[in-house]
Amino acid sequence: MALTSEDKVAIARKLDELGVNVIEAGSAITSEGERESIRAVAAEGLNAEICSYCRIMKQDVDFALASNVDSIHLVAPVSDLHISVKLRKDRETVRQMAIETTEYAREHGLIVELSGEDASRADMDFLKSLYIDCVEAGADRLCFCDTVGLLVPERTEALFRDITSAVRAPLSIHCHNDFGLGTANTIAALRGGARQAHVTINGIGERSGNTSLEEVVMTIEWLYKQKTGINTKEIFKTSRLVSRLTGIPVAPNKSLVGGNAFTHEAGIHVHGLLADTSTYEPIKPEVIGRERKIVLGKHAGKSSVTLALKEMGLSVDDTQLHEVLDRVKEMGDHGKRVTDADLQTIAETVLNIQKEAKVVLEEYTVVSGNKVIPTASVRMKVDGKEVIEASIGDGPVDATLASIKKGIQSLGDVQLEEYHVDAITGGTDALVEVLVKLSKDGKMVTSRGARTDIVMASVEAVLNGINRLI
């Protein structure tokens, strides 16, 4: 995962809008490019404190100072395994390095959060004494790192009650999700006295990831009924932004922000939702900036179709409902997934609603080859006006879709969230089906295109989705 300066700034702005208190923008020691990215984030003038990861070495602090950060996350290995095997040193040497680096950073005006790496495997007496010494040296905050995810909630709460009673500075919790307990352990730490939690959007991080911000925030707000100060309506937009810029997809079954979190298919569930959405939803999707989705196919019932049409702002009588349902089931019987655009087209046909497409492709040209940068040009009608755009891309499809995106900028920021292609007949002239998921201002739609030409199938899918969105 490599983020450009522009990517980091975009994410930092969104995190600041979300209301986070501290943004760890990178590790200044890494490279000049990393330092440029951190400086770019620091120059944004955000409300959040901007932080750099540092080892217990003065040169790391110098690079952090050169990056204009407010604070450092100063990480000291504290387990004997890390001290002896990774650092090849002893406890007292690590203690002295941590104290001296803390003093050096504070002398130069930095806020210091001193972190015990692999704290869950450390000797607790040594860890507490190190914390106490570093607070005396000027550390503003402390952090307990469960570096390989070995904690369980019961032990976590007990540990934090013990440590917070022994140290004067606020203590943070930093969990990894190797056993899937990151959120549970973080909540347990907060119950035990932790004042701050280290989290990531979508739970991204080394190996199995870190504790998920969205899970911790919504657990505190909805299950413990405590305010976090986070603007929860921006959670889903932030999730999608981070997923898109990092290239790390969110699992469909991921809690809260996964594609299926507010998606309903079973008839009995949808029937319940029509009566009261709380029957099969723990929170309303709007709370985190989402929308409810109804999946349709051959198992669809009247309740599913009624609710899906209601979400589109369409109402039908019994006769029209049966006709829409028959057409949906017919598509399902042919193994088709009924997209939002499919349902809208079916419903508008049954209701005899004529809607002129806002975006119409008139022609496109693609140039591609093994020694040619893929380039595409498009001529479109956008809201009745002719638009001509050109763009390059990683391939002919990418170049064409990039040209379309440039051409529709006047209609808003439409993002391609997912792209899936299948060959649905055999041979070199196979019929290709493209399924896409598009988003705009937090709203999402799915649409399809089917052609023997993969570029045209992709264009058809994207334009269907764009016209559905706007």
For 46-62, the pLDDT digits (tens) are 999 999 999 999 999 99
Does residue 326 share a domain with residue 269? yes
Does residue 113 share a domain with residue 66? yes
Does residue 105 share a domain with residue 166? yes
- The pLDDT-based confidence of 346 (bands split at 50, 70, 90) is confident
The long-range contacts involving 358-361, CB below 8 angstroms and separated by at least 24 positions, are 358/382, 358/383, 358/411, 358/466, 358/467, 358/470, 359/383, 359/404, 359/407, 359/408, 359/411, 359/463, 359/466, 359/467, 359/470, 360/463, 361/404, 361/459, 361/463
- Distance of alpha carbon 109 from its chain centroid, rounded? 33
Asked, for residue 252, whether it belongs to a domain, the answer is no
Does residue 333 register a pLDDT over 90?
A: no
Q: Which of 16-20, 183-187, 244-248 has the lowest mean pLDDT?
A: 244-248
DSSP letter at 249 equals P
Asked, for residue 258, whether it belongs to a domain, the answer is no
Q: Are 428 and 452 in contact (CB under 8 A)?
A: no
The CA distances from residue 465 to 125, 280, 305, 380, 461, in Å, are 60, 28, 19, 15, 6
Residue range 80-110, pLDDT digits in tens: 999 999 999 999 999 999 999 999 999 999 9
This prediction's pTM: 0.81
Asked, for residue 439, whether it belongs to a domain, the answer is yes
Asked, for residue 100, whether it belongs to a domain, the answer is yes
For residues 11-39, give the mean pLDDT: 97
Does residue 95 share a domain with residue 48? yes
Does residue 428 share a domain with residue 331? no
Does residue 205 share a domain with residue 107? yes
Structure confidence at residue 349 (pLDDT) = 78
Q: State the CATH number of the domain containing residue 152.
A: 3.20.20.70
Does residue 410 share a domain with residue 327? no
Out of 350, 382, 398, a domain closes at 350
Out of 287, 315, 350, a domain closes at 350
Does residue 98 share a domain with residue 159? yes
For residues 399-428, give the mean pLDDT: 86
Asked, for residue 251, whether it belongs to a domain, the answer is no
Asked, for residue 126, whether it belongs to a domain, the answer is yes
Residue range 142-171, pLDDT digits in tens: 999 999 999 999 999 999 999 999 999 999
Residue range 359-383, pLDDT digits in tens: 999 999 999 988 889 999 999 999 9
Asked, for residue 16, whether it belongs to a domain, the answer is yes
Q: Are 194 and 141 in contact (CB under 8 A)?
A: no
Does residue 243 register a pLDDT over 80?
A: yes
More confident residue, 468 or 153: 153
Asked, for residue 254, whether it belongs to a domain, the answer is no
First-residue to last-residue Cα distance in the chain:
32
Does residue 413 share a domain with residue 321? no
Q: Which of 21-35, 237-251, 438-452 has the lowest mean pLDDT?
A: 438-452
Does residue 403 share a domain with residue 342? no
Does residue 13 share a domain with residue 125? yes
Does residue 231 share a domain with residue 150? yes
Q: State the CATH number of the domain containing residue 422.
A: 3.30.160.270
101: its two tokens: 């680096």
Q: In what order do the strands lie in the sheet with 111-117?
A: 22-26, 49-55, 71-77, 111-117, 141-146, 171-175, 196-198
CA dihedral for 185, 187, 192, 198, sign (positive or negative): positive
Structural domain count, the chain: 3
Range of the domain at 313: 263-350
Structure confidence at residue 78 (pLDDT) = 98
